[in-house]
Amino acid sequence: MKFTYTIEGGDFSKAGHASSSVKKVLKQLNVNSKVIKRIVVALYEGEVNVVAHAYRGKIEADINAERIYVRIEDEGPGIPDIGLAMTAGYSTASEKVREMGFGAGMGLPNMKKNTDELKVTSEVDKGTTVEMTTYLK
Partner 1 sequence: MHNDFHHALVVDNELCYGCTHCMMACPTAAIRIDNGKAVIIDERCIDCGECMKACPVDAIFVEQDDFKKIFEYEYRIAIVPAVFLGQFSKKISVKEIVDAIKETGFTHVFLAEESAEVINEVMLNEYDSDRERPLISPFCPAVVRLIQVKFPGMVENIIPVKTPVDSTAMYVKKYMQDKGLPEKRTGIFYVTPCAAKIAALKSIPEDEIVINGVINMDMLYNKVYHIFKTRKGGNTIEDGSFTGISPKVLKWSLTGGEADNMKGRCLAIDEVHNVTKFLERVEDGDIINVDFLELRACDHGCAGGVLMTENRFLTVERIRTKADRIKEDLPEQPIEKYHGHLKANAGISEIEPRSMFKLDEDMEEAYRKMQRIRHLMCFLPAIDCGACGAPNCQSLAEDVVKGKAHLSNCIFIQRSMEKNRKLSNEHAIRLIEKVWGKDRLDKNCNKKGAENETD
Residues in touch with partner 1 (CB under 8 A): 1, 16, 19-20, 23-25, 27-31, 33-34, 36-37, 40-41, 44, 63-65, 136-137
Kindly tell me which of 63 and 120 has the beta carbon lying closer to partner 1: 63
| Nearest to partner 1 of 95, 137 (CB atom) | 137
Least Cβ distance, residue 113 to partner 1 (angstroms): 12
Picking from 52, 58, 39, 8, the residue whose alpha carbon sits closest to that of residue 137 is 39
Do 3 and 25 form a contact (C-beta atoms < 8 A)?
yes
Pairwise CA distance, residues 124 & 133, whole Å: 24
Shortest Å distance, C-beta 106 to partner 1? 11
Nearer to partner 1, 127 or 132 (CB): 132
Rounded CA gap, 15 and 9, in Å? 10
Rounded to an integer, what distance in angstroms lies between the CA atom of residue 120 and that of residue 34?
24
